[in-house]
Amino acid sequence: MRRFASCFLILLLLALASTAYAKGKDPAHEITSQIICPCSCGEVLSGCTCETGKSMQATVENGVRAGKSKKAIVDALVAQYGEVIRGAPKPEGFNLIVWIAPFAATLVGFLIAFFILRRWVSRRAAAAVPARPVETLPFPRDLESLRDRAEAELRELKRSR
């Protein structure tokens, strides 16, 4: 257990260090990886090679060199090209539907599956129960009395012949 905990701690520290290194590495790439090119290619700006994408990348790099914040650079690009360039819509107003609908649809799907499975299980359990228990069969439990009755009827038949 101790070995697992130490391995987990080392992996956690490595992940945090790599995240900190990646954040400090290239702020322009961090911005361009969250913006979509508005031209017909529709690629993420960091991988776009069209003229529009290259000019937008240059705008981002110039903004980073000028010391502008990420929000200021993104707001300038949104003002120029429109809200379409955002990789994800802002979670406000009507755009909240985009953020909430997938979770709501998943929850509704799980609820439907739960009720269907519960119905199937209850039907299967009801079908597994026998219609009549063995104790209620119409056979007498005392075979001796049945045998005595049969022999009495046979004797009666022999006499009447």
Range scoring the smallest mean pLDDT among 19-33, 72-86, 88-102, 142-156: 19-33
Amino acid type, 21: Y
Q: Give the span between the Cα atoms of 57 and 47, in whole angstroms.
A: 10
Domain layout of the chain by residue ranges: 23-87, 92-129
Work out the end-to-end distance of the chain between its first and last CA atoms, rounded to an integer number of angstroms.
Answer: 94
Q: Which fold has domain 23-87?
A: Helicase, Ruva Protein; domain 3 (1.10.8)
Residues 117-133 as b or e (16 or more Cβ within 10 Å = b): eeeeeeeeeeeeeeeee
Quote the pTM value: 0.45
Rounded mean pLDDT, 46-61:
84
Segment 144-159, tens digit of pLDDT: 888 888 899 999 988 8
CB-based contact 19:27 (threshold 8 Å): no
CB-based contact 30:45 (threshold 8 Å): no
Centre a 10 Å sphere on the Cβ of residue 141 and count the other Cβ atoms it contains: 8
